């Protein structure tokens, strides 16, 4: 508990920005590729999915951080992290779905099938575990999750635009469908390497 | 040893807490379903084929309850019987269902055309189509791996002599086969039409002829001979306008490759009525 990193306001903004651009979960860490390729065909679907991911990432972090630091670590159960987090996140998403269905049906129908899909999204598990291993304190963890969610949102929206362009383009027969999508995804990913170092320089 | 027991107990405890929480939440916050839903859902056949245009029978039942003016005659597999039941439950006027059957627009079996390769890949039309446009000499025709037969909920499609055949007596007209055929050979047609062009090849006559002796070579003989002008040859393929066709069968007689045929379209529902 003593070794946790505490960040000031400037540090938090920097953390947020670098989570969005430099450490983008989809394009730099290659987590959550399945929804990135699967749900990025249309802009409205991509937006719905991303908002659900932001929401679940924040919520999962808010629940798993205390579990790790107050339940697992003090009793030497740190190694149970993965299995406990999977369990808790899955239950949490189900609970959120039930609550939304009852009290905010409009939001429930807007998020639709994406909410249960996120239960098994590795980007959500990834962000909770990386928050722990990076030794962030609670506030920094939440900010990092928000940034990661926004980064996912950015990647999805950008890529749905790229795919809309590709649909209209004259793709060679052999590249139609998944091949050209994967090639485009890799090029978008390469373009994000351009952000490396930019955020640190901006704030130093 | 203690460690492992505590670990198991801890994970089990967390699991139980989550389970109880979810169970309580789902009881407390259960959303009431419309009481008509199970009744309407019971009327539908439950094939989940999507012929009505909604995602499965559940989707159609929800649409019927929630939206005004959804027609009760959209369930093709259920035919008149289902439409009648739905009309009773919802208290709207009964509308006749246009019963439909699947027809395959290819008769290129192993007697009239041949394979251009010794295909040993995955036994599926979808996979075979990816390799040089299919296994047959004709890239438009039926490859006979039976993707359509696999999805058919009523076993109405069989593969004989290398191509798919629809047993219209068993066909419920759901259209699942039409959506999986990579060559788009299967049409869903009202079960009253009779004349059918059993070819889908849009190549020029010479090329079609080389690939298959049964194909439409776009000679335009049917177009000229049709007494009511119901046939037009567009894109090197003969097409019948069923609004004009009188089922006289003259086109079938004059067609040099016999690719226009009198089809037997009597579907399962018509059989029931008779």
pLDDT in tens, A131-160: 999 899 999 999 999 999 999 999 999 999
In terms of domains, do B86 and B145 share one?
Answer: no
B50 and B182 belong to one structural domain: no
**Counted domains in chain B:** 2
Best of B8, B14, B132 to disrupt the A interface by mutation (most A CBs within 10 Å)? B14
Quick one: B41 and B113 in the same domain?
A: no
Mean pLDDT over residues B182-197, rounded?
A: 85
The span from the CA of B253 to the CA of B74, in Å, is: 37
pLDDT at position A144 is: 93
A201 touches B at CB < 8 Å:
no
Q: Do residue B120 and residue B248 come from a single domain?
A: yes
A94 touches chain B (CB under 8 A): yes
Kindly state the percentage of chain A with pLDDT values over 90: 26
Q: Tell me if A91 and B7 make a contact (CB, 8 A cut-off).
A: no
Domain membership flag for residue B23: no
Considering only the beta carbons, identify the residue of B11, B14, B29 that sits closest to A99.
B29
- Rounded Cα distance, B59 and B247, in Å: 38
One domain, residues B49 and B126: no
Instruction: Name the pLDDT band for A38 (thresholds 50, 70, 90).
Output: confident
Are B128 and B190 in the same domain?
yes
Residue A116 belongs to a domain = yes
Rg of chain B on CA atoms, in Å: 25
Q: Whole-model pTM?
A: 0.59
Residue B25 lies in a domain: no
pLDDT-based confidence at A202, cuts 50/70/90?
confident
Q: Testing the interface with A: which of B22, B131, B133, B182 to mutate, by most A Cβ within 10 A?
A: B22
Q: Which of B66, B90, B114 is the last residue of a domain?
A: B90
- How far is residue A23 CA from its own chain's centroid? 11
Residues B103, B54 contacting (CB under 8 angstroms): no
Amino acid A66: pLDDT:
92
Q: Considering the domain boundaries, does residue B137 fall inside one?
A: yes
pLDDT at B271: 63
Contacts of B55 in chain A (CB under 8 A): none
Does B133 have pLDDT greater than 90? no
Q: Do A88 and B18 touch (CB under 8 A)?
A: yes
Whether residue A1 is contained in a domain is answered as no
Residues B228 and B115 in one domain: yes
pLDDT for A10 equals 86
Torsion angle of the four alpha carbons B124, B126, B129, B130, in this order, in degrees rounded to the nearest 10: -110
Whether residue B104 sits in one domain with residue B150: yes
Domain ranges, residue A114:
9-203
Q: With bands split at pLDDT 50, 70 and 90, how would you rate the model's confidence at B270? A: low
Position A127 confidence tier, pLDDT thresholds 50, 70, 90 = very high
Residues A110 and A100: beta-carbon distance below 8 Å: no
- Look up the CATH number of the domain holding residue B79: 1.10.15.40
CA distance B11 to chain A (A): 7
The CA distance from B26 to the nearest CA of chain A, in Å, is 6
How sure is the predictor about A199, in pLDDT bands with cuts at 50, 70 and 90? confident
Q: Give residue A152's pLDDT.
A: 93
Is B120 inside any structural domain?
Answer: yes
Strands B100-104 and B186-190: what pairing? antiparallel
Average of per-residue pLDDT across A72-100: 87
Query: Which of B3, B7, B18 lies nearest to residue A91, judging by beta carbons?
Result: B18
- CA proximity to B177, closest of B160, B153, B159, B194: B153
Query: What's residue A1's pLDDT?
Result: 55
Average pLDDT over residues B138-143: 89
Letter string b/e over residues B175-192, b meaning 16 or more CB atoms within 10 A of that residue's CB? bbbbebbbbebbbbbebe
Within a domain: A3: no
**Beta carbons of A72 and A78 less than 8 angstroms apart:** yes
Chain A, residues 71-90, CB within 8 A of chain B, namely: 71, 75-77, 80, 83-84, 87-88, 90
pLDDT of A187: 92
Structure tokens at B149: 């037969």
Provide the pLDDT confidence category of residue B136 given band limits of 50, 70 and 90: confident
Q: How far is A177 from chain B (nearest CA, A)?
A: 12
Give me the mean pLDDT over the B228-255 stretch.
88
Give domain status of residue B17, yes or no: no
Contact (Cβ atoms closer than 8 angstroms) between residue B140 and residue B201? yes
Identify the band that residue B274 occupies on the pLDDT scale cut at 50, 70 and 90: low
* More confidently predicted of B97 and B206: B206
The packing angle between helices A138-168 and A9-20, to 10°, is 30
Give the total number of structural domains in chain A.
Answer: 1
Answer whether A202 touches B (CB < 8 Å).
Answer: no
Minimum-distance CB partner of A80 among B10, B22, B25: B10
B18 and A87 in contact by Cβ < 8 A? yes
Q: How many CB pairs under 8 A join A and B?
A: 42
**pLDDT (average), residues B166-190:** 87
Per-residue confidence (pLDDT) for residue A2, from 0 to 100: 56
Alpha helices in chain B (DSSP H): 2-28, 36-43, 56-66, 79-90, 125-129, 147-151, 176-180, 205-211, 221-225, 250-254, 268-273
Asked whether B142 and B157 are in contact (CB, 8 A), the reply is: no
Query: What average pLDDT does the structure give for chain B?
Result: 84
Claim to verify: residue B118 and residue B183 sit in the same structural domain: yes
- CB contacts of A84 in chain B (<8 Å) are 10-11, 14
B85 and B153 in a single domain? The answer is no
Question: pLDDT band at B137, cuts 50/70/90?
Answer: confident
In a domain, B8, yes or no: no
Q: State the smallest CA–CA distance between residue B96 and chain A in angstroms.
A: 34
Domain that holds residue B83: 36-90
- Tell me, yes or no, whether B31 lies in a domain: no
- Tell me the pLDDT tens digit for each residue of B190-221: 877 778 888 988 888 888 888 888 889 988 88
A116's tokens:
């249960």
State whether residue B238 is helix, strand or coil: strand
Q: Are residues B79 and B112 in the same domain?
A: no
Residue A4 in any domain: the answer is no
Q: Is A90 helix (H, G, I), strand (E, B) or coil?
A: helix
Residue located via tokens 């059918």: B196
Task: Kindly tell me if the per-residue pLDDT of A107 is higher than 60.
Answer: yes
Report the alpha-carbon distance of residue B111 to residue B98 in Å, rounded: 35
Sign of the Cα pseudo-torsion (A6, A11, A17, A23, in order): negative
| Residue with the larger pLDDT of the pair B82 and A106 | B82
| Distance, CA of A119 to CA of B174 (rounded, Å) | 34
pLDDT, chain A, mean: 86
Q: Enter the tokens of residue A175.
A: 């590249």
B20 falls within a domain: no
Please report how many Cα atoms fall inside a 13 Å half-sphere around the Cα of residue B44, on the Cβ side: 29
Residues B150 and B261 in one domain: yes
Give the CATH number for residue B127: 3.30.70.20
């Amino acid at each position: 508990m003593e070794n946790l990193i505490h960040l000031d306001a400037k540090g938090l903004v920097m953390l947020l920005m670098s989570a969005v651009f430099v450490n983008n979960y989809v394009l730099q860490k290659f987590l959550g590729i399945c929804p990135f390729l699967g749900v990025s065909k249309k802009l409205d679907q991509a937006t719905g999915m991303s908002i659900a991911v932001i929401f679940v990432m924040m919520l999962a972090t808010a629940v798993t951080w205390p579990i790790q630091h107050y339940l697992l670590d003090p009793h030497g159960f740190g190694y149970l992290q993965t299995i406990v987090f999977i369990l808790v996140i899955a239950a949490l998403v189900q609970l959120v779905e039930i609550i939304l269905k009852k009290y905010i049906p409009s939001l429930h129908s807007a998020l639709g099938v994406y909410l249960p899909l996120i239960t098994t999204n590795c980007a959500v598990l990834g962000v909770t575990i990386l928050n722990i291993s990076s030794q962030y304190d609670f506030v920094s963890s939440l900010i990092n999750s928000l940034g990661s969610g926004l980064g996912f949102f950015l990647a999805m929206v950008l890529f749905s635009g790229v795919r809309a362009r590709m649909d209209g383009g004259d793709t060679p027969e052999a590249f139609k469908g998944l091949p050209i999508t994967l090639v485009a995804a890799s090029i978008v990913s390469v373009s994000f390497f351009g952000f490396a170092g930019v955020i640190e320089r901006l704030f130093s | 040893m203690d460690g492992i027991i505590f670990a198991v107990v801890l994970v089990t405890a967390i699991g139980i807490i989550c389970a109880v929480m979810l169970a309580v939440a789902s009881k407390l916050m259960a959303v009431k379903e419309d009481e008509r839903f199970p009744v309407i859902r019971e009327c539908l056949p439950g094939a989940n084929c999507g012929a009505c245009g909604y995602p499965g029978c559940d989707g159609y039942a929800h649409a019927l309850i929630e939206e005004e003016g959804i027609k009760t005659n959209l369930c093709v597999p259920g035919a008149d019987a289902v439409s009648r039941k739905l009309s009773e439950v919802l208290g709207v006027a009964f509308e006749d269902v246009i019963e439909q059957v699947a027809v395959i627009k290819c008769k290129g079996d192993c007697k009239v055309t041949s394979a251009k390769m010794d295909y040993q890949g995955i036994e599926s039309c979808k996979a075979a189509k990816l390799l040089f446009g299919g296994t047959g000499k004709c890239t438009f025709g039926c490859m006979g791996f039976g993707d359509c037969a696999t999805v058919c909920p009523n076993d109405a499609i069989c593969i004989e002599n290398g191509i798919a055949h629809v047993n219209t007596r068993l066909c419920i007209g759901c259209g699942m086969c039409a959506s999986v055929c990579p060559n788009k050979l299967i049409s869903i047609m009202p079960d009253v039409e009779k004349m059918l062009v059993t070819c889908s090849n849009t190549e020029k006559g010479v090329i079609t002829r080389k690939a298959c002796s049964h194909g439409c070579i776009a000679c335009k003989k049917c177009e000229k001979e049709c007494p009511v002008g119901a046939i037009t040859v567009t894109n090197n393929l003969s097409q019948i306008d069923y609004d004009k066709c009188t089922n006289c069968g003259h086109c079938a007689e004059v067609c040099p490759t016999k690719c226009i045929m009198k089809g037997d379209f009597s579907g399962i529902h018509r059989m029931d009525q008779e």
